[in-house]
Amino acid sequence: MQDLDCYLVGGAVRDELLGRPSPDRDWVVVGATEAELLALDFMRVGKDFPVFLHPQTKEEYALARTERKRGQGHRGFAIDASPEVTLEQDLGRRDLTINAIAKDRTGQLIDPYNGLRDLSDRIFRHVSEAFTEDPLRVFRVARFAAQLPDFKVAEETQTLMRSMAVAGELQTLSAERVWQEVAKALGAPHPHRWFEVLGDCGGLAPWLEELQHLAAHRFYSGSSEQRFAQLPLSMAELEGLAKRLRIPKHYVQLAADRLLYGAVLSAYPWRASQAAELYHALTELQLLHDSARINRVMALLRPDVVAKDGAVLKDIRQGLRAVQLPADHGMSGSAYGEALKQLRITWLHRYLAR
């Protein structure tokens, strides 16, 4: 194992130099073959190119490789992972100079593309013109901006990103891949920077036309799902965006619930005069069957209620379920349903009046 020529690369080196924690430690192995790694009990996990898991640490080790564009999108590449590929060649295929720094086992840094200078200057700069071969990199640069808000995009890199957007390169990406980038950006510390960078290069069209005004939007703390639900969208815009990006149902449902029922739910403590409107919201959110859905909405709109007065919704649920028509009501169908509804609204009015 000690004979392998290995280098820590990418985000792990960048984040270490910035004094930030890094979730992953990725390694590049130079001058080796797949057979040699398998003989050392590495496990192959990469489908498109040779990536392996270390038998003890489970960290990712990839053979040094080069990539040559051969088709559209972010997967249209021919890969060369032969033992002749050098470390500098492997670093040269990366997106930004700050991600093209390597560290050997002794701690020495290898920086052929001046990434250390750009780290110091707080600049996102592309490594080479090959940046334009992968349209996903436009979204990645924006995501880095959402994570490192004091960094600025180099003018020449911004020019490349703009040219890629104008040429329609972003349209070659899959809807699912674009959505993944949106979701990651919404979970970043400063999501407004993602929209700002993409807006500056024209990268929000055509996938995200409804979101072109969000550079100045104030994002509150919360999960990616909660931040999506609070975007200033109309129902029509939400439906159009969800269909185009194939957004997961739980994201769309929380956003729709906020749009439809947010006004009354946010008005806690509720007044007796709101009983009918509140009852409609509670039944549409299926409180009588399962409190999970309304708890998600309340955690978004009024986390203080969930934290301090969570028993209120439990009391209302139990009270409404206990309300029933007399055994000799003699009604059926819609008449029965309407009578039960009015009886429960009356109960809720009395409960809120207390």
DSSP 8-state assignment for residue 346: H
Query: In degrees to the nearest 10, what's the CA dihedral of 111, 148, 160, 88?
Result: 20
Query: In degrees to the nearest 10, what's the CA dihedral of 98, 103, 108, 109?
Result: -20
3-state secondary structure of 78: strand
Task: Give the integer Cα–Cα distance in Å for 347 and 319.
Answer: 8
Task: Give the integer Cα–Cα distance in Å for 23 and 45.
Answer: 18
Taking alpha carbons only, the member of 16, 19, 11 closest to residue 60 is: 11
pLDDT on residue 290:
87
pLDDT on residue 75:
55
Instruction: Report yes or no: 42 and 27 within 8 Å, Cβ to Cβ.
Output: no
pLDDT on residue 60:
93
pLDDT on residue 74:
47
Task: Give the integer Cα–Cα distance in Å for 77 and 54.
Answer: 26
Other C-beta atoms lying within 10 Å of the C-beta of residue 3: 9
Contacts of 168 (CB under 8 A, 6+ apart): none
pLDDT on residue 1:
73
Instruction: Report yes or no: 241 and 259 within 8 Å, Cβ to Cβ.
Output: no
Contacts of 275 (CB under 8 A, 6+ apart): 345, 346, 348, 349, 352
Run of H or E including 67: strand 66-69
Pairing of strands 102-103, 5-9: antiparallel
pLDDT on residue 77:
64
Q: Which amino acid is it at 324?
A: Q
Q: Determine the straight-line distance between the first and last CA of the chain, rounded to whole angstroms.
A: 73
Q: Is 84 exposed, middle or buried (0-12, 13-18, 19+ CB in 10 A)?
A: exposed
pLDDT values of the chain reduced to their tens digit, one per residue, 354 residues: 788 999 999 999 999 999 998 888 999 999 999 999 999 999 999 777 789 999 999 999 999 999 876 655 445 568 888 999 999 999 999 999 999 999 999 999 999 999 999 999 999 999 999 999 999 999 999 999 999 999 999 999 999 999 999 999 999 999 999 999 999 999 999 999 999 999 999 999 889 988 887 767 888 889 999 999 999 999 999 999 999 999 999 999 999 999 999 999 999 999 999 999 999 999 999 999 988 999 999 999 988 877 676 688 889 999 999 999 988 888 889 999 999 999 999 999 999 998
pLDDT on residue 117:
98
Instruction: Report yes or no: 156 and 125 within 8 Å, Cβ to Cβ.
Output: yes
* Structure tokens belonging to residue 206: 């055509």
pLDDT on residue 72:
56
pLDDT on residue 316:
93
